[in-house]
Amino acid sequence: MTSAPANLIAVRSLLLTYLNVDKNVGKDADLEPGEVGIVGDASHLGGYHCGADRVVANDYSVVESSRDSSGLTLNASALDIGMFSVASGGRTHTLRSMSNWLVAQCVAGAADSTDIREIIYSPDGSTVKRWDRLGRRTTGDSSHLTHTHISFFRDSTKANRDQTPLFRRYLISIGLMEDEMSAEAESQINNIYTGMFFGGSSMGRSVDPDGSGPRTAGNSLVSKLDYVMLRLDELAAQVQTLSTKDFTDEPAIVSGVLAGLPPEKIAAAIPPQLAKDVADELARRLVA
């Protein structure tokens, strides 16, 4: 029996969440649950609203693309969207404007539109057009004056590939949904800014960035960087001072070495000619 695949049920749920404005009262302006369909009624045979049990011979929704023939299952692979009108961002948005937006995304080759085979719609309420990725057809019957039909290649429903991103982008573009990625990025930027300039409980110990200067101790990244730079400047000054000093006291070293050696060791360490010269000098001094 033909059934609705989970990925298209998710799209239907998304649209009803944001376009069925008053969920407790049926209104012409709202997109009501009965206006968003996936599976064709019992008399419907052939086409993307039917699964393998209800397709017909040479069904265009199967034979014109290997993506359809290889993806044929009992799942329907189409979505019908009815009339609605919602105000958002100072503008009124309708099925017409949404259909035109979806077609424009498909024409532009948007990455999240590549699973769409065709869109049958009315851009103005008086003519019916069909955008067909395969370029086979350009028109549709008059029922599409009041609803837009979207066919998805059957391999995408077989794979249960998420089809909500395109429709999320539409809802974001008209201001009915918040861009979750932008909100997350904004939160991350705020966290970085707070940590950079103000710190917080997760930033570790506080430091006094300028020592005896006017700034108070803090644990922000800026405080810690200032603290590190101050200490590095102090260390560099100390190294410069030490580099100008001679820490070698040669007389003391010689005296210390000689004090630890017995006379015979000292004599043995003196070369013969030097020993003779020393002896002569000592004899001269004694005579004097």
Is the pLDDT at 182 greater than 60? The verdict is no
The answer to whether residues 146 and 83 touch, using CB atoms and an 8 Å cutoff, is: yes
Is the pLDDT at 51 greater than 60? The verdict is yes
The answer to whether residues 45 and 38 touch, using CB atoms and an 8 Å cutoff, is: no
For residues 147-173, average pLDDT = 96
Is the pLDDT at 63 greater than 80? The verdict is yes
The answer to whether residues 130 and 118 touch, using CB atoms and an 8 Å cutoff, is: yes
pTM comes to: 0.65
Q: Hey, what are 4's tokens?
A: 């609705």
User: Where do the domains of the chain lie?
Assistant: 6-180, 196-244, 251-287
Name the percent of the chain lying above pLDDT 70.
Answer: 90
Residue 92, beta-bridge partner list: 87
Residue-level length of the chain: 288
- Report how far residue 35's alpha carbon sits from residue 93's, in angstroms, rounded to the nearest whole number: 17
Residue range 243-258, pLDDT digits in tens: 777 766 667 766 776 6
